Structure 1
Amino acid sequence: MELDLTTRLIIIVALILSSAYFSIAEISLAASSKIRMQQLIEQGNKRAKQVLDLQIKPGPFFSVIQIGVNAIAILGGIVGETVFSPFFEQFFLYFCAPDLAASLGFFCSFFAVTMIFVLFADLIPKRIGLNKPEKYALLLIGSMRFLILILKPFVIALTGLSNFFLKVIGVPTKNEATITSEDLLATVGAGAEAGLLDNDEKQAIENVIKLEDRFVTSAMTPRDSVTYFTLGNSLEDIKKKIESDPHSKYLVCDKNIDRVIGYIDSKDLLCRALENESLSLHEKSLLKSIPCLPDTLSLSEVLEVFKQQGKDIAVVLNEYALTVGIITLGDVMSTVMGNLVQTEDDSYIVQREDGTWLIDGATPIEDLERTLELDKMPDDESYETVAGFMMYMLRKIPKLTDKVIYSGYKFEVIDVDMNRIDQILVSKIETEQTNKEEKQGLEKKPEN
């Protein structure tokens, strides 16, 4: 039966719209956020559950998509060629022989139909679907499930065959809807780039996600900076320590910091002072027990200990049972919240007007990587602080003016207390200078 031109044009438009439907359905389901779908499920959205189920087991869905797309492509080629070929052939008859005009007409007709389908049935629909994937996935999920139902025999056959060949080559047939920390970090980064989060909020969220990867030593107060009382301290000694270094809690030790027996709350000391009562660190009513944690715990594990024991302070010990520092709930929160709660005086990293940075030697290496936008410091599992990085790179105990050139930055020691690095000056240097100084650093033998 010969179709007239109008009918064939209507068929072409219908095929393009059908193909566009499949293109939007395919891209929207593939691009829909699993996190967003899970949120909608918790809100009682049944369509979101259907979308997530198809994302987990996409075999039937993609079978229907491929049946529809390929069937439409074949029909579009057949109908489209008969629509456009006569016009192109008639045009080329003015310039060419009949046989050549027929060949050119067929080629131009094929090219025109292909371009129309690629543009209006594939590219534009997929761009539309990518713009709001969750919206279109929820909108089209009902019709897609209906097509899966009516094409079930074909779907079962194609899904079974595809699963068989996937198993043969060792590819999983089920797409587990797992969400990794990398997915969350990427989502947070995208939100910051879109202006939905400012830098401090982005940093706080990233810090929460990375709590599992940061050790307790990266946030603790090191032993050299801990103010503590000993059982032998007199009342005058205690007052002087409180005046010179006020804190909410103080360790109480037997002779030295490696023999911690508990802690005392400054509120209790204040109450005794206000009531003019005598004070003795030997009183058991004043002393409170304090948990001891190994220095291998992550910050998330520290929070779990605080939660279980109802404490907000703990002593950190190394493998030799020596005190390496103390950690408080406030330290963990400061690590999470970063610049949202830290003042300039509290900050480990201060950027100066000339663009350089003054960095405390105790700064966690993760904070340095984030501030300088460095992907990874060399062998950063071998040290935890900027001071450790300097010692690792120099292969010696650093002295004043010792410097390291790395990744376009110069790290220079500007303050040392005994053998402890207090301050490091970091400045960005030009590429040519970087290459020259890094080469000199490699050629120079480390001092013993």
Structure 2
Amino acid sequence: MTLTQSLLLILVLITTSAFFSLAEITLAASRRLRLRQMADEGDARADRVLRVQEQPGPYFTVVQIGLNAVAILGGVVGEGAFSPFFSAVLERWMSVDAAQGWAFAASFVIVIALFLVFADLFPKRLGMNDPERLAVRMVGPMQVLITAFKPLVWFFTRSTDMLFRWLGMPLQRVDQITSADILAMTEAGARAGVLAVREQQVIANVFQLDTRLVGSVMTSRDRIAWFQKDDPESVLRARIVAEPFSAYPVCDGDIDHVLGYVDAKDMFQRVLSGQPLALDQGVPLHKALVVPDRLTLTEVLEQFRQAHEDFAIIVNEYSLVVGVITLNDVMSTVMGDLVGPQQDEEQQIVRRDENSWLIDGVTPVQDVQRALDIDTLPHADEYETLAGFLMVMLRRVPKRTDSVDWSGYTFEVMDVDSYRIDQVMVTRTQPKAKP
């Protein structure tokens, strides 16, 4: 075989090896979500790729048969093509035996380099750039080869299946998409500029609904504006002006005996129409939705949906009222500052300078972590607010000037009112790590 013929044969072998390498990487790297989208748009080839991914054994068997056969032929042809040429050149400066040894080594290196670059690295990097588009083009020829080599495919596939069964491993590809996978994809999209950072934060907030309890966003007991059932109209008007809310619980004697609630819209309509506001003179009293304080925000949303309500009373295990929550509270947690500044959070977390914050004790720990860029807090399942964090860390009711150090920050109690932590000064004690 002449040198030209050998080079042409090596070119064919490299092309064949590149084809199998591309077929292998595109099937492995193809995302099922993207393939399903392509199939739904009418690309039948994408559906065929999905079926192959479910049973990839025969496909990869053909790939490995092709790659190994080409590698063996490439070594034989390459050594026979280049060794005589290098041997003839090297014999001018060294003995025949030495020249043949070095010629073989040179031929080996050249063949390995050609196959490594053009038959392995280049096609695999090409396939990683757009795996789905290339996979749908490769699946047709590969299925023809699977049919052509069916006896070999059957033998090697069954042998591999037996090995998998012996090891107790699944025979089919298992694709389980978790919330962590979705969050990782959205974070990658935000870094790439495909997704706005605020939009990515909204998606992350949605997944937090399953882990955040109602206590993290509710209006706490001491901040609830409520009416007595026999309050005169003057008291109702003064309360509404001083504490404007969308709904007001109506109680009998104290806040733990809730009769229902009145909607602010109903009261405004009565004022505009000149009707009296007294609760015993026709103001609609709505039945209050009561939920336990251990529910997550996702469960509260479901309760709102089932009851067709957007306001709920939160009680603890002793049937004492601990707070109230509205649908708007939950949605504000999801949307963050995407639709505008969060006034409540601005009041709860005030940044004084680059290294210090003044934070309300009832601020949810998730908001504190986000503001301070802290990944984790100790004993996170034992509290929901910054005040709870300090109580757990100190193992007692904090007093003014008590402090806790954690993750490069000092949390110092600034004000306590009747055992309630009002204000906490947070100071960064270690310089912020550069990304």
TM range (shorter): over 0.9
Mind listing any 5+ residue stretches in structure 2 that lack a counterpart?
none
* Cα displacement (A) at 1:312: 0.9
CA distance in 1, matches of 2:73, 2:224: 80
* Cα displacement (A) at 1:283: 6.0
Note closer, same or farther for the CA distance 1:237–1:182 as it changes in structure 2 (3 Å cut). Answer: same
Note closer, same or farther for the CA distance 1:191–1:396 as it changes in structure 2 (3 Å cut). Answer: same
* Cα displacement (A) at 1:139: 2.4
| 1:126 corresponding residue in structure 2 | 124
Preserved contact between residue 334 and residue 342 of structure 1 (Cα < 8 Å): no
Note closer, same or farther for the CA distance 1:351–1:145 as it changes in structure 2 (3 Å cut). Answer: farther
Q: Which SS does the other structure have where 1:213 is aligned? A: coil
| 2:334 corresponding residue in structure 1 | 336
Note closer, same or farther for the CA distance 1:412–1:197 as it changes in structure 2 (3 Å cut). Answer: farther
Note closer, same or farther for the CA distance 1:239–1:428 as it changes in structure 2 (3 Å cut). Answer: same
| 1:274 corresponding residue in structure 2 | 272
Q: Which SS does the other structure have where 2:8 is aligned? A: helix
Note closer, same or farther for the CA distance 1:196–1:107 as it changes in structure 2 (3 Å cut). Answer: same
Q: Give 1:17-166 correspondences, 5 Å limit.
A: 17-166=15-164
Q: Which SS does the other structure have where 1:212 is aligned? A: coil
| 1:228 corresponding residue in structure 2 | 226
% same residue: 46
Q: Which SS does the other structure have where 2:227 is aligned? A: strand
Preserved contact between residue 230 and residue 280 of structure 2 (Cα < 8 Å): no
Q: CA RMSD in A?
A: 2.1
Preserved contact between residue 22 and residue 68 of structure 1 (Cα < 8 Å): yes
Preserved contact between residue 88 and residue 105 of structure 1 (Cα < 8 Å): yes
Preserved contact between residue 210 and residue 297 of structure 2 (Cα < 8 Å): yes
CA distance in 1, matches of 2:234, 2:115: 89
CA distance in 2, matches of 1:58, 1:32: 13
CA distance in 2, matches of 1:32, 1:351: 46
Note closer, same or farther for the CA distance 1:44–1:221 as it changes in structure 2 (3 Å cut). Answer: farther
The answer to whether the aligner puts 1:215 opposite 2:213 as a matched pair is: yes
| 1:439 corresponding residue in structure 2 | none
Preserved contact between residue 361 and residue 385 of structure 2 (Cα < 8 Å): yes
Paired amino acid for 2:388: G
* Cα displacement (A) at 1:182: 1.1
Preserved contact between residue 412 and residue 424 of structure 1 (Cα < 8 Å): yes
* Cα displacement (A) at 1:402: 2.2
Note closer, same or farther for the CA distance 1:93–1:189 as it changes in structure 2 (3 Å cut). Answer: same
Higher mean displacement: 187-196 or 147-156: 147-156
The answer to whether the aligner puts 1:310 opposite 2:308 as a matched pair is: yes
Higher mean displacement: 264-273 or 182-191: 264-273
Note closer, same or farther for the CA distance 1:209–1:154 as it changes in structure 2 (3 Å cut). Answer: farther
CA distance in 1, matches of 2:165, 2:120: 30
| 2:406 corresponding residue in structure 1 | 406
CA distance in 1, matches of 2:225, 2:46: 56
Higher mean displacement: 140-149 or 307-316: 140-149
CA distance in 2, matches of 1:242, 1:142: 72
* Deviation string, structure 1 residues 49-78 (Cα, Å, up to 9, x no partner): 222222232222221221111111111111
Preserved contact between residue 262 and residue 283 of structure 2 (Cα < 8 Å): no
Note closer, same or farther for the CA distance 1:416–1:197 as it changes in structure 2 (3 Å cut). Answer: farther
Preserved contact between residue 24 and residue 129 of structure 1 (Cα < 8 Å): yes
Q: Which SS does the other structure have where 2:284 is aligned? A: coil
The answer to whether the aligner puts 1:170 opposite 2:168 as a matched pair is: yes
Preserved contact between residue 344 and residue 350 of structure 1 (Cα < 8 Å): no
* Cα displacement (A) at 1:247: 0.9
Preserved contact between residue 83 and residue 107 of structure 2 (Cα < 8 Å): yes
| 1:349 corresponding residue in structure 2 | 349
* Deviation string, structure 1 residues 316-370 (Cα, Å, up to 9, x no partner): 2222222221121111111101121352532243434434333332222223333
Q: Which SS does the other structure have where 2:270 is aligned? A: helix
Higher mean displacement: 200-209 or 94-103: 94-103
Higher mean displacement: 86-95 or 404-413: 86-95
Note closer, same or farther for the CA distance 1:298–1:144 as it changes in structure 2 (3 Å cut). Answer: farther
CA distance in 1, matches of 2:200, 2:397: 36
Preserved contact between residue 55 and residue 177 of structure 1 (Cα < 8 Å): no
Preserved contact between residue 277 and residue 283 of structure 2 (Cα < 8 Å): no
CA distance in 2, matches of 1:352, 1:122: 57
The answer to whether the aligner puts 1:415 opposite 2:430 as a matched pair is: no
Paired amino acid for 1:402: D
Aligned length, in residue pairs: 430
Preserved contact between residue 399 and residue 413 of structure 1 (Cα < 8 Å): yes
Preserved contact between residue 64 and residue 148 of structure 1 (Cα < 8 Å): yes
| 2:358 corresponding residue in structure 1 | 358
Paired amino acid for 1:309: A
Preserved contact between residue 262 and residue 290 of structure 1 (Cα < 8 Å): yes
Note closer, same or farther for the CA distance 1:120–1:221 as it changes in structure 2 (3 Å cut). Answer: same
* Deviation string, structure 1 residues 247-275 (Cα, Å, up to 9, x no partner): 11111122222222211011211222233
Higher mean displacement: 85-94 or 27-36: 85-94
* Cα displacement (A) at 1:190: 0.4
CA distance in 1, matches of 2:403, 2:207: 33
Mind listing any 5+ residue stretches in structure 1 that lack a counterpart?
433-448
CA distance in 2, matches of 1:399, 1:55: 62
- TM-score normalised by length of structure 2: 0.92
Note closer, same or farther for the CA distance 1:331–1:30 as it changes in structure 2 (3 Å cut). Answer: same
Q: Which SS does the other structure have where 2:121 is aligned? A: helix
| 2:3 corresponding residue in structure 1 | 5
Paired amino acid for 2:363: T
